[in-house]
Chains A and B, each alone.
Chain A
Amino acid sequence: MVILFIYCLQYLVGNVYLTKDIIINIMDTKINVDKCLSLSLTGKEGAIVSFIGTIKGINNNKNVIKVDYNIFNSLAYSIIKEKCFYFLDKYKCQIHIYQYKGILFVKDVNILIIVNSCSRRDSFFVCSELLEFIKSNVPIWKKEFYSDGSYKWINS
């Protein structure tokens, strides 16, 4: 009964979009990579590919102190969800995406993408494509703060 419920489930709870094969979580608490990875395990997959994005200490030849992630949640969920369904139609996989919203410091994790499937090729491909898609299409803006007191909106 519980499994049937989860299989039929497709809903948005608070800030998490969840189906049997998709988790999209735009969160304002730090991403716990180990916990997220262990949550993604079903025992059926043969390949787990993950991408962990972290805050780099130097950008634009300046020392980065912190980065503020500004995200348009509802539109971000909508755009990511549509892309995930596109991949699920073509590949048998599970996709978990965690994106941080708010201020992060150097070495902190800003994004975690986990793709599980039976095929390593599918997992690598989907994970890489999703990352590139998110970087260029999802309404996420980064404001970098530097050690000299200045800041910059990236790409703006």
Chain B
Amino acid sequence: MIKIKIKYFGIFSEYLKEISYLNLKDKSRLSDLRIYLIMLLEKQNIDKNILLLLNSAVFSNEDKILLDDYLLIDGDIIYLLPPVSGG
């Protein structure tokens, strides 16, 4: 198992802040994390709009957007970014 930390921005910071650490299977990718988060939130009857946004959200680290095939490693800090709304 690996343990990762997730941080949120924008609207996600209001709805998902309780989920800050997740344990995932070894060799999990960001695509697995996305599916895991969606499943987790579906169980919580969360606003459907948030689930839709989660599908189109982007993951990043501190200074780079990460693709869905990014292989997660133990201790990773991943940021979940909703669609941006500009300067």
Q: A: which residues have CB within 8 A of B? A: 53, 70, 72, 74-75, 77-79, 99, 110-111, 131, 134-143, 153-156
* B81 and A140 contacting across the interface, CB-CB below 8 Å: no
* A70 and B87 contacting across the interface, CB-CB below 8 Å: no
* A153 and B87 contacting across the interface, CB-CB below 8 Å: no
* A75 and B83 contacting across the interface, CB-CB below 8 Å: no
Given contact pairs A141-B9, A141-B82, A156-B10, A134 touches B87 in the complex (Cβ within 8 A): yes
Give the residues in chain B near A74, CB-CB below 8 Å: 62-63
* A99 and B85 contacting across the interface, CB-CB below 8 Å: no
Q: Which residue of B lies closest to A153 (CB)?
A: B11
* A75 and B84 contacting across the interface, CB-CB below 8 Å: no
Q: Which of A53, A75, A140 contacts B85 (CB 8 A)?
A: A140
Give the residues in chain A near B79, CB-CB below 8 Å: 72, 75
* Most A-side CB within 10 Å, residue of B62, B63, B84: B84
Q: Which of B10, B53, B63, B87 contacts A110 (CB 8 A)?
A: B87
* B82 and A72 contacting across the interface, CB-CB below 8 Å: no
Given contact pairs A138-B87, A155-B85, A75 touches B62 in the complex (Cβ within 8 A): yes
Give the residues in chain B near A75, CB-CB below 8 Å: 60, 62-65, 79, 81
Contact indicator per residue, chain B 9-48, by CB within 8 Å of chain A (1) or not (0): 1110100000000000000000000000000000000000
* A155 and B87 contacting across the interface, CB-CB below 8 Å: no
Give the residues in chain B near A155, CB-CB below 8 Å: 82-85
Residues of B53-68 contacting chain A, CB below 8 A: 53, 60, 62-65
* B64 and A78 contacting across the interface, CB-CB below 8 Å: yes
* A131 and B87 contacting across the interface, CB-CB below 8 Å: yes
Contact indicator per residue, chain B 67-87, by CB within 8 Å of chain A (1) or not (0): 000000000000101111111
* B63 and A135 contacting across the interface, CB-CB below 8 Å: no
A148 to chain B, nearest CB (A): 19
The distance in angstroms between the C-alpha atoms of A51 and B53, with both chains bound, is 30
Given contact pairs A75-B79, A141-B9, A141-B11, A156 touches B87 in the complex (Cβ within 8 A): no
B35 to chain A, nearest CB (A): 21
The distance in angstroms between the C-alpha atoms of A107 and B20, with both chains bound, is 37
Q: Which of A72, A140, A143, A153 contacts B86 (CB 8 A)?
A: A140
B34 to chain A, nearest CB (A): 17
